């Protein structure tokens, strides 16, 4: 009953209701649920499934909302704000003149 109702809600684009019905189906089912039901009933299963498919998987913690853990290197690099990401530059043509006697740079 919950499986069919979950499918109906999914087709009606009621994702939250479908997840609840598939979760109830998983709880009441005596046999092992299919991968389809597991996908919709278990958020942790979805995240692990998607992360396993990545080339460079990171350990994601459920208590942090499945967000990656930042390291010291990440904080030193800084955030990718608009000022850093708005330019699409592949080549810099710089002319720089170093003047050691004056301890200055021109260009």
- The answer, yes or no, to whether residue 103 has pLDDT greater than 80, is yes
Q: What is the pLDDT of residue 99?
A: 93
Q: Which domain holds residue 10?
A: 2-106
Residue closest to 63 by CA, chosen among 47, 84, 49:
47
Q: Over the stretch 44-102, which tens digit does the pLDDT of each residue have?
A: 888 888 877 775 556 666 777 777 777 788 777 777 777 777 776 777 788 899 999 99
Q: Over the stretch 12-41, which tens digit does the pLDDT of each residue have?
A: 988 888 888 888 888 887 555 677 878 888
Task: Give how many domains the chain has, as a whole number.
Answer: 1
Is residue 90 within 8 A of residue 84, CB to CB? The reply is no
Across the range 4-18, mean pLDDT stands at 87
Would you state the structure tokens that stand for residue 91, as one six-digit string? 């080549």
């Amino acid at each position: 009953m919950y499986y069919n109702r979950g499918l109906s809600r999914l087709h009606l684009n009621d994702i939250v209701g479908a997840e609840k019905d598939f979760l109830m189906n998983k709880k009441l089912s005596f046999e092992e649920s299919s991968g389809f039901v597991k996908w919709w009933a278990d958020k942790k299963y979805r995240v692990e499934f998607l992360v396993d498919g990545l080339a460079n998987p990171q350990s994601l913690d459920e208590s942090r909302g499945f967000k990656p853990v930042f390291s010291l290197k990440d904080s030193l690099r800084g955030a990718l704000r608009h000022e850093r990401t708005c330019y699409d530059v592949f080549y810099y043509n710089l002319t720089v003149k170093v003047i050691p006697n004056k301890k200055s740079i021109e260009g």
